[in-house]
Amino acid sequence: MQSVDRAISVLEILARRGEAGVSEVAAEIDVHKSTAFRLLGALEGRGLVEQTTDRGKYRLGFGLIPLAGAVSGRLEVTRQGRDVCEQLAAKFGETVNLAVLQETYAVNVDEARGPSTVAAHNWVGRLTPLHCTSSGKVLLAHLPPERLSAVLADSELTGLTPSTRTTRAALDAELADVRENGFAVAVEEYETGLNAVAAPVLDHTGAVVAALSVSGPSYRLPPDRMQELVPVLLDGAGEISRRMGYFGP
C-alpha cells in the first residue's frame, strides 16, 4: 500500500509542477533517490509518465488519457449541471443531486442544498442502491434490456424499508412507468422518512448519462409536493441535457 500511495504522490507532483527530476520527486515524497527512480520507472513502463527532452526530467504520460476518458463523462455532467443544481436547490428548498451509474449502484457526483437542508446527509461520492432510489430507477429504466438484466442479476433487491420493492416483477412494472412518465419517485423506499423524485439527463447522442433528483424528509416532500416539483425538475434535467449537447425532442 505504501508503494501505491507513493506512486499516486508522484503523479500528483508531476500534475502540479509540470515536470520534475528524480531528485525533486525524492525530496517531495521523502524517499531515497533510488526509490524515486524505481517508482518513476514503473510508472513509465505503464505509460503514465514519460521523460522529457531534458534528460532526467519526467512529466505525465499519454497513458493517463484512457483513464481520464473513463470518467470524463461524469466530470462533464457535473460541470454542466452545477449551476442548475444550485438554482433548483434554492427554488425547492431541498437537496438536489446528480447521480451516475457505477456497476450495480448509483453514485452521487454532485450536490446542492437548499436553505432548509443544513443538517441533511452529504450524498456526494455515496453509492446507493438502484432498485429503491429515484436516481437508481431512472438509470435502470433507460438501460438496454440485456444490460438491465445483467445489472439486476448482480444486484440484490434488498428490502431496506417496508416500502422497498423486492421482486423483479414489481420493479419491472415501475421501470415501465418511469420510461412512460419520464421521471421516477421513491417514497420511503431507501430510508424511512426520506422521499425523492428524479429525472433523466441525456448526452449528445440521446443516451441517459445521469439522473437529476430532489430529495427531502417526507413531511416536507410528500407525494403531492413531489408531483408539483416534477415539471421544474424535468426542465432542469432538460437544461443540463442541452448543455451536454442534446437537442432532440
Determine which helix (DSSP H) or strand (DSSP E) holds 200, and give its type and residue range: strand 194-202
If asked whether residues 203 and 87 sit together in one domain, one would say yes
Considering just the CA atoms, what is the radius of gyration of the chain in Å?
A: 22
pTM for the structure as a whole: 0.73
Cell of 217: 424528509
If asked whether residues 140 and 225 sit together in one domain, one would say yes
Residues 174 and 177: their CA atoms lie apart, in Å, by 5
pLDDT classification of 1: cutoffs 50, 70, 90:
low
What domain range is 120 assigned to? 70-243
Domain count, the chain: 2
pLDDT classification of 81: cutoffs 50, 70, 90:
very high
Determine the residue type at 37.
F
If asked whether residues 55 and 75 sit together in one domain, one would say no
Q: Supply the pLDDT for residue 125.
A: 77
Residue 249: inside a domain: no
Higher pLDDT, 47 or 224: 224
If asked whether residues 137 and 216 sit together in one domain, one would say yes
Helices (H) and strands (E) in the chain, counts: 8, 9
Q: In what order do the strands lie in the sheet with 49-51?
A: 20-21, 57-60, 49-51
Residue 89: inside a domain: yes
Residue 248: inside a domain: no
Residues 148 and 161: their CA atoms lie apart, in Å, by 23
> Of 167, 163, 154, which is closest to residue 185 (Cα–Cα)?
163
Give me the residue label for grid cell 454532485: 110
Residues 186 and 214: their CA atoms lie apart, in Å, by 11
pLDDT classification of 52: cutoffs 50, 70, 90:
confident
- Pick the range with the lowest mean pLDDT from 25-39, 59-73, 133-147: 59-73
If asked whether residues 50 and 76 sit together in one domain, one would say no
Give me the residue label for grid cell 436553505: 115
> For the domain that residue 54 is a member of, what is the CATH number?
1.10.10.10
- Pick the range with the lowest mean pLDDT from 55-69, 100-114, 131-145: 55-69
Q: Supply the pLDDT for residue 117.
A: 61
Average pLDDT value over all residues in the chain = 89
- CA distances from residue 99 to 64, 146, 193, 224 in whole angstroms, order as listed: 24, 22, 21, 24
If asked whether residues 31 and 90 sit together in one domain, one would say no
Determine the residue type at 96.
V
If asked whether residues 85 and 58 sit together in one domain, one would say no
Section 119-146 average pLDDT: 87
pLDDT(59) > 80: yes
If asked whether residues 35 and 142 sit together in one domain, one would say no
Section 79-91 average pLDDT: 93
